[in-house]
Structure 1
């Protein structure tokens, strides 16, 4: 009996599988805390350091660029050397960068930007967390657990907000950065508590490791497991060139991730300004409404994590993206006609469904790759989606005629075209789901077999076409 048969034969989670899921959420929360804490640190240093807009933009955008690089590097590393060592290195990179940030000299914005890129580099390993968690799960719960991991982003932001409100004055901004070193301690727990992914070990032919990890996952004695056959030919994997053999996964995954991230970040960066302009709210009241959107986002992510296993990836993905795009169009029309109530409701609805989109895209774009390329493929889609974090605000800036590409100055006149711009990207992701492979209920091994058949069939067609051209 193979690793896949043993892990997929039940439809309920064992205590150890629940532990892996909790560790995944905790790990993601710590990662995103490190990512978001800079927004609160800037409140302390912006005026004393006399930072210009350009300097602030460099500090903030450096993390995004680091994240893009990290997603590619950590994906390759995890496929080559294992999920567990990759995760440990990611946590240490985050902690080391946080410690360095706490030592930033006063006024050293360039130093701050460099090590903020280090934080982003560590956060780029989020796709490795998803891959690792999914490989411990049975097919019946993989989507649910994978979607739940996305809640860690919201938890990270809430944690940063909570610690700032409770301890910022006592700790100062250097202390805030030092809290970001906690992942180093968490890595010790991970090292002792969580074994290597059984599926990765089996794919690498390390059957003793796979057998031990499977017994741990199921909570049984290793001796009680049946003999595990050789999983077949062992392929090293981790080569970027191999990703392009799986063209459907590459194109579908990239378009889904890019479209959703572009729409999401554009909405959440631009939204608070419009809340002030259209609804006439004070900045404080607008922040409270955004808090409501954040809390509802947690509910949305959990809901769509559940719907992944009820409606399937394609169905849940299309509903979330189409609903978000429609709500954005209504919000744009309400804003342009200065209808505050309609704008406020449709804006919150758009935020709700945008969060649901993120609960779908991460798990789906991770599971559509073979085991030897899973982390690298997920890293590719996560990295390319990082462009959306820049293109969303930059596109809005062009629409509203602003030179400020980070936080464009929203105007009511530009609301409709701007919201249609953001909704268009989400609609692109929704249409892409029609061309996506449905993976609900399939084991990761069954998905891989289908991928290999598709690649082989494409190779045969290409060979026949070449013979025809050559006469």
Structure 2
């Protein structure tokens, strides 16, 4: 029996519950905010737990890189599942798993167990993020979706500001397990919000999403689309540099530059303020210049941040300001590229938004995982490894933003200056 034709956009929109943009933005902030909560909140505790477990730097980096690998692979699974069964049931299940894995992480008796529970945490986190990105496409067209996404990213920015400060305070006063316990509590809050406030956004469900033939066809369609490839390349490049900062910053600031965990938390939070300002600027540039115009301007900040951090590190300037100021520039650019890139990547695929969000997220996570493997071996007691990696990704982000995104990111009829 042939499959029934997909519902028209008007029918699909009519069957969705009315949800205010404020609720959607808050949901995005909570769901996407779990990513910086999972990474940033425990970073001030990373050197201490490394010493307590008697682990090497490479072993402690596995608590980050294994999480990111599971996060990337998990999206390939959860994306089609969310297209088939809807966003809400997938979110409820994954957030329950995330909270449980977070509790287990806080109680881990050895570094190996911590890596295991962080891996499961990353797999559950994947569903929250992929459903959040797909939900934007369920409700909005790409440009409007980028605007709402930037509001959600502003909320994410506030969470990212608070996470390292809270993590540093907890680590300094209660030990390294306390930040991981706080992650579990935040996961429980996100689960409660979804259960009580967030309705299903997908209408209708794609009954073909998990069948091998249609799924393979959807993957080919997404990967073959030049717009998807352009935006995914941008997101992967900008996050590659950010992940290098996340993976190495605690050791650079605490072990190399001599900051206390609480001071490091403030330094990392200040970079999140720059990211938050970038999301605000993103909304202004979106209204004036569109998706491609916003990215064209944001790329200059990515390039300036990356090149300045690399140049100062190569010159041997081992000072806090020589890392922090370039980090602010790079984070500001990241606040522009992330909402544009995530909305742009799923924009062409209203019927397969979950698959598109999953593939986009996998590319991002695969890039971060490779960076994590490298930085775990590269730390040499200086700022050079972090500076060089951020410099490379600053150049790559600007190159993609000024070429591929300008050529393929937005249909010609809606391009703006």
- Alignment partner of 1:136 is 2:114: no
Corresponding residue of 1:432: 404
Distance 1:336 1:104, change over 3 A: closer
Call closer, same or farther: CA 1:92–1:70 in 2, change over 3 Å: same
* Cα displacement (A) at 1:94: 0.7
Match of 1:116 in 2: 118
CA contact (8 A) 1:275 1:344 kept: no
- The one-character-per-residue Cα deviations of 1:241-289 (angstroms, maximum 9, x if unpaired) are 4221241244324322222222332355556888899xx9653577654
Tell me how far apart the structure 2 counterparts of residues 258 and 7 of structure 1 sit (CA, whole Å): 31
**In the alignment, which residue of structure 2 is the partner of 1:222?**
none
Question: Equivalent residue for 2:356?
Answer: 377
Q: Is the 8 A contact 1:71 1:124 kept in 2?
A: yes
Higher relative contact order (CA 8 A, sep 6+): 2
Shift of residue 188, structure 1, vs aligned partner: 3.8
Q: Deviations over 1:341-365 (max 9, x none)?
A: 8887555323322332223222222
Q: 1:160 is matched with which residue?
A: 163
Native 8 Å contact 1:252 1:433 kept in 2? yes
Give the structure 2 partner of residue 210 of structure 1: none
Aligned to 1:252: 230
Q: Which residue of 1 aligns with 2:340?
A: 360
- Residue 202 of structure 1 corresponds to 204
Whole-angstrom distance in 1 between the partners of 2:203 and 2:269: 42
Tell me the SS of whatever aligns to 2:377.
coil
Which residue of 2 is the match for residue 225 of structure 1?
Answer: none
Deviates more, 1:159-168 or 1:249-258: 159-168
Aligned partners of 2:297, 2:152: CA distance in 1, in Å? 20
Q: Quick one: which of 69, 76, 79 aligns to 1:72?
A: 76
Question: 1:90: which partner in 2?
Answer: 94
CA shift for structure 1 position 33: 1.8
3-state SS, counterpart of residue 200 of structure 2: coil
Residues 159, 336 of structure 1: alpha-carbon distance in 2 compared, 3 angstrom cutoff: closer
TM-score, structure 2 normalization: 0.78
The alpha-carbon deviation at position 176 of structure 1 amounts to 4.1
Q: Is the 8 A contact 1:263 1:422 kept in 2?
A: yes
Q: Distance in 1 between matches of 2:58 and 2:387?
A: 28
Please, what TM-score do these two structures have when normalized by structure 1?
0.70
Q: Structure 2: how far apart are the matches of 1:337 and 1:54? A: 26
Structure 1, gaps ≥5 residues long: 9-13, 205-233, 398-402, 443-471
**CA deviation after TM superposition for structure 1 residue 169, in Å:** 6.9
1:34 aligns with 2:38: yes
Please list, as runs of the form range in 1=range in 2, the aligned pairs for 1:440-455 lying within 5 A after superposition: none
Distance 1:337 1:185 in 2: 46
Q: Which residue of 2 aligns with 1:150?
A: 153
- In structure 1, the residue matched to 2:367 is 388
The 10-residue stretch of structure 1 (53-62 or 167-176) with the greater mean CA deviation from structure 2: 167-176
Provide the C-alpha distance between the structure 2 equivalents of 1:174 and 1:203, rounded to a whole number of angstroms: 41
Q: For 1:166 and 1:271, how far apart are their aligned partners in 2? A: 17
CA distance in 1, matches of 2:265, 2:171: 19
Residues 72-95 of structure 1: per-residue CA shift (max 9 Å, x gap): 111121111111111112211211
